[in-house]
Amino acid sequence: MDVIYTDRHRLHRGEFEFFAGELVPCYEKPERADAVLAALTACGMAVGGPESFCLAPIERVHTPRYLRFLESAWQRWRALGKERDALPDVWPIRGFRHDIEPDDFVAQLGLYSFDTATPLTAGTWTAARAAAEVALTAQRRIAGGARAAFALTRPPGHHAGADFFGGYCFINNAAVAAQALIDDGARRVAILDVDYHHGNGTQSIFYERADVLVQSIHGDPKTEYPYYLGHADETGSGAGTGFNRNYPLPAGSSTASWFDALEAACGRVRDFGPAALVVPLGVDTYVGDPISRFRLDRPDYLRLGARLAALRLPTLFVFEGGYAVAEIGENVVNALRGFEEAGGA
Ligand code: FKS
Ligand code: ZN
């Protein structure tokens, strides 16, 4: 399977995130992607770099106003005399105006974000844009006829919406790739998000669309991040009604119930009849993950890959979460190997 990667991800290196009232070292760190790369090379997978793209395919998913903000954010923060990472401290919740962009930089940070876990750093824009290019390069392989590709993206993407960042995500790599598949002629694309956390950004981007089926299996938002979206009754709206499906599972759920949800989601992919499948692949479902509470073990990722391969669709894996750095490489490799050994590319 083709793997696309760039070391530009290392330019995004947050120092601290807020976690329950305390500043703790960022869980989402460069070592994560380095560990996955090392495991992929160790088992002989071919790794290539990304092509370059203009902003147009990213603007198909994100607003120009938001992208301009991200692009200039670090320079504006520096102009305020700041050297440490930028974090917001105020947000326009219910009843506040979203249409007027405040002049104040920190107020803008709040307008374009939803948590305090996602520091913006000197290299964030360059790294996030590079990750989108990684996803777009993998997308081109699929559009060109490849059976499968893995976009080793960092920072991750599935929490980022059309005009907001959060949950360690800035640009929604999987959504950009799915939209590019449509723009290259796919009539329908299915997204099946297997990260532990609900892909709220991806859901919101395609919520009114009938050409992109969005499904997510995740920890129940009643107790798990991102808390405010990802319930089972969110099924799409307008033309998109019926084209969004959530499978929230209680924290601590058994692996058997996780695979039951996967089975249901795969059935819906099959019924939808897409030209391609995009899989936001987080391995924070692993039993040893430090911030998540499912119980998948290493061999379960082989089974996940094999089940996805049985859909017999061109498949684009896009890397998302996973914080057990010592096992992250093995778990990702197992998902991809499981796919290949079951007849995928
Ligand atoms: C609340 C802590 C909030 C944020 C968790 C973010 C999860 C990110 C992810 C991604 F794939 F995007 F990386 N923690 N007390 O794993 O979904
Ligand atoms: Zn996650």
Residues forming beta bridges with residue 47, ordered by sequence position? 3
Assess whether the C-beta atom of 321 lies below 6 angstroms from ligand 1: yes
Residues 6+ apart with CB under 8 A from 164: 66, 112, 113, 114, 201
Q: Is 159 a catalytic residue?
A: yes
Look at residue 343 and tell me whether its pLDDT is greater than 90: no
CA of 169 to the centre of ligand 1 (A): 9
Residue 286: what pLDDT?
A: 99
Question: Residue 345: pLDDT band by 50, 70, 90 thresholds?
Answer: low
- Name the pTM for this structure: 0.98
Look at residue 180 and tell me whether its pLDDT is greater than 80: yes
pLDDT tens for each residue of 48-95: 999 999 999 999 999 999 999 999 999 999 999 999 999 999 999 999
pLDDT tens for each residue of 134-153: 999 999 999 999 999 999 99
Instruction: Please name which ligand lies nearest the alpha carbon of 18.
Output: 1
Q: 344 or 179: whose pLDDT is higher?
A: 179
Share of the chain above pLDDT 70, in %: 100
Residue 321: what pLDDT?
A: 98
* Residue with CA at minimum distance from ligand 1 atom 9: 321
Q: Token match 């290299």: residue?
A: 123
Q: What does pLDDT average to over the chain?
A: 98
Ligand 1 closest atom vs CA 323? 16
Residues forming beta bridges with residue 296, ordered by sequence position? 286
